A and B are shown apart, each in its own frame.
Chain A
Amino acid sequence: MTNFAPDTILSLYRTMVRIRLCEEKLARAYQAGKIVGACHTYVGQEAIAAGVCQSLRDDDAVFSTHRGHGHALAKGVTPRQLIAELFGRASGCSGGRGGSMHLFAPEVGLMGTSGIVGSSILQATGAGYSFQLLNTDRISVAFFGDGAVSNGAFHEGLNLAAIWDLPVLFVCEDNLYATEVPFDYATRNTNVAARAQGYGLTATSLDGNDAVEVCAVAGEMVKLCREGKGPALMVCHTYRTRPHAEGMRDGGYRTQEEIDAWKQRDPISRLRQTAVEAGTVTDNQFAAIDEEIAAEITDAEEFAESSPWPDPATATEHVYGSTT
């Protein structure tokens, strides 16, 4: 904790609160029928997106998952752009073409969330190939869950990134369940870092609900990748405290006791409490951020609701770019 400047602590906190309040707003909007389709929230996992993206530059590339709102916000998509996208409006980050699972903002390096498990791993590896070929020091990041680890894309992507020494940081968010399938059912070996080491990557496991630890480890691994010593993998142990997707029945695979125990490890209150106790940041400073972000999210929802719908006449545009 003492290694981080107060500004870094406040920045991590601001990002996490932005994600949390945005997700809670989206969950209520889903219940009110303002969002259609799937809506997978990131509540409980905020420290990972915040901690990893803290170490990234705007021109680094992030490839994300179906549970990608947090990654988008942490990489610089605004709550206005995110909420408008889920409301299906033209002002959304994908112009209303994507919704929750297909968020794109290449301007800030959010290269896409995806409804297909595993693709983020491969695309981030490909971005690493570009960055190496173009002789830049940009890096790419793949976020994915424990569910992707038993998918071929994980093995093919890690292996290719390793044999070509690509500048890619793989971030596995192990939240214990792939939808409702427990990770320790899906595999005999739940040690994802060991699997990555088996492919020759630098890899480590950590507490994904500790924003400071995530940020510290990510900082080291980003540096490694930027110096051409990648790829690297970090496994963040965490938990989603809401259902797999909004509106889904949450029972039958986990207990209320387990959910309650993980809520005690809430990454946002943990960071606040630890920093206040250490005297790094005052509680008033945190409270000011709470107020600031609450106003930001209220404004974002109003913006989204008052934004125009996309013009149906544009529904078939941009299927193809130019062929000259």
Chain B
Amino acid sequence: MSPREISYTDAAREALAAAMERDPTIFILGEGIGERGGNFNTTVGLYERFGPMRLRDTPICERGFTGICTGAAMTGTRPVIDFMIVDFILDGVGELVNQMARIQYLTQGRLKMPVLIRGCFGIGSGYAAHHSGNYYSLFVNIPGFHVVLPTTPYDAKGLMATALRSDNPVIYLENKSLLNCRGPVPEEDYTIPFGEAVIRRLGSGLTVVAVGAMVPLTLSVCDDLASEGIEVELIDPRTLAPLDLSTILESLAKTGRLLVVDESFGPCGIGAEISARVMELAFNDLDAPVRRLNGEHTPTPYSPTLEAAVIPSAARIADAIRNLAAD
């Protein structure tokens, strides 16, 4: 019997509930995550099961509860910070970067820092300048964080389960456009190791590494491109820190061409990092320069016509792939 199909959000919550059942030191802080169940339904039903000590609604004070979760993790509990919209994380970045990410190092591992930091990200649906951010590259740049971007319900559950067993702070980012997508998810508990990419489509023509919501968007154009004779191998890194470079390099050895599709900004972004690492490690495998397709380097505008102009579309992805294939 094939597994049942559930949504991305339900899959993540299933892993969270199982972990809370197993580990009584897990508690969740955030705005509206208690009885209400979270604005993105991240905690629906958990308050009734685990009570107010383990699901605490907070006032709007991101620096405050980020610092609190750091101190809690230092003293024997496992906090989950539910930022709801990940743009709010910026008000807590000092506590994340200066404190949370450095405590294990400064204590030579005598203290652990088991914190799950989650939030919804991504351009789309007219959320505009303050609710559309992509901040993963910022955290990839900082030593001490894992950065996780599930793109399927199956991965949402397995990566959440891994995050809730880790000694390290994990930035777990959920793309808003994927929250309601459905897919097969086993009922039993399982984990997915960090740093293991998955190949979403096999192909020998060129390699595309896509990030977050760009994975299903890129996948949606692959069949049409195949009919034009362009066979795309599509890699979903799943975690950006750690990054599974070897899967990318193995694919590149086969295809000789690489495009990174990322809705976030280009400068100092994850595409720049992948590109540089590929050139350092596999220059001779390249039959063409590494290409990047990014969102525009601009704040996210509101109007649908403006918003659509700053993010890679299916048509732009297809064009970028055709251009690379012809290079």
Binding site for B on A (CB under 8 A): 61, 63, 94-95, 97-98, 102, 104, 106-107, 111-112, 114-116, 118-119, 121-134, 140, 152-153, 156-157, 159-160, 163-164, 317-324
Q: A126-B79, A320-B146 are in contact. List 9 more A-B contacts (CB 8 A).
A: A104-B110, A106-B110, A122-B67, A123-B74, A126-B72, A127-B71, A318-B107, A321-B166, A323-B166
Report B77-96 CB contacts with A as 1/0, cut-off 8 Å: 10100000000000000110
The interface residues of chain B lying within 8 Å CB-to-CB of A124 are 71
Q: Is the CB of B75 within 8 A of A116?
A: no
Q: How far is the CB of A316 from chain B (nearest CB, A)?
A: 8
Q: Is the CB of B103 within 8 A of A133?
A: no
In angstroms, Cα B143 to Cα A114, docked, is 18
Q: Is the CB of A106 within 8 A of B107?
A: yes
The interface residues of chain A lying within 8 Å CB-to-CB of B182 are none
Report B49-86 CB contacts with A as 1/0, cut-off 8 Å: 00001101011010111111111111111010000000
Q: How far is the CB of A215 from chain B (nearest CB, A)?
A: 25
| Chain B CB within 10 A, most for which of A159, A319, A323 | A323
The interface residues of chain A lying within 8 Å CB-to-CB of B25 are 133-134
In angstroms, Cα B84 to Cα A250, docked, is 47
Which one of A121, A133, A152 contacts B77 once the chains associate, using CB atoms below 8 Å? A133
- B154 interfacial by beta-carbon distance below 8 Å: no
- B44 interfacial by beta-carbon distance below 8 Å: no
- B41 interfacial by beta-carbon distance below 8 Å: no
14 A-B residue contacts at CB 8 Å? A61-B75, A112-B103, A114-B98, A119-B98, A122-B67, A123-B99, A125-B71, A126-B71, A126-B79, A163-B59, A317-B108, A318-B104, A323-B168, A323-B194
Which one of B64, B67, B71, B77 contacts A140 once the chains associate, using CB atoms below 8 Å? B71
The interface residues of chain B lying within 8 Å CB-to-CB of A61 are 74-75
The interface residues of chain A lying within 8 Å CB-to-CB of B99 are 114, 116, 119, 123
Given A106-B107, A106-B110, are A126 and B67 neighbors across the interface (CB < 8 Å)?
Answer: yes
| Chain A CB within 10 A, most for which of B72, B95, B109, B112 | B72
The interface residues of chain B lying within 8 Å CB-to-CB of A98 are 106
Q: How far is the CB of B60 from chain A (nearest CB, A)?
A: 10
- B130 interfacial by beta-carbon distance below 8 Å: no
Q: How far is the CB of B244 from chain A (nearest CB, A)?
A: 14
In angstroms, Cα B94 to Cα A118, docked, is 11
Q: Is the CB of A132 within 8 A of B59?
A: no
The interface residues of chain B lying within 8 Å CB-to-CB of A97 are 105-106, 108
Given A157-B64, A160-B58, are A63 and B98 neighbors across the interface (CB < 8 Å)?
Answer: no
- B162 interfacial by beta-carbon distance below 8 Å: yes
- B165 interfacial by beta-carbon distance below 8 Å: yes
Q: Is the CB of A320 within 8 A of B168?
A: yes
The interface residues of chain A lying within 8 Å CB-to-CB of B107 are 94, 104, 106, 112, 318
The interface residues of chain B lying within 8 Å CB-to-CB of A157 are 64, 67-68
The interface residues of chain B lying within 8 Å CB-to-CB of A125 are 64, 67-68, 71
Q: How far is the CB of A110 from chain B (nearest CB, A)?
A: 10
The interface residues of chain B lying within 8 Å CB-to-CB of A317 are 108-109
In angstroms, Cα B167 to Cα A210, docked, is 43
| Chain A CB within 10 A, most for which of B25, B67, B144, B167 | B67
In angstroms, Cα B61 to Cα A140, docked, is 21
In angstroms, Cα B94 to Cα A114, docked, is 12
- B111 interfacial by beta-carbon distance below 8 Å: yes
| Chain A CB within 10 A, most for which of B66, B71, B76 | B71
Which one of B54, B63, B108 contacts A153 once the chains associate, using CB atoms below 8 Å? B63
Q: Is the CB of B67 within 8 A of A130?
A: no
Q: Is the CB of A122 within 8 A of B71?
A: yes
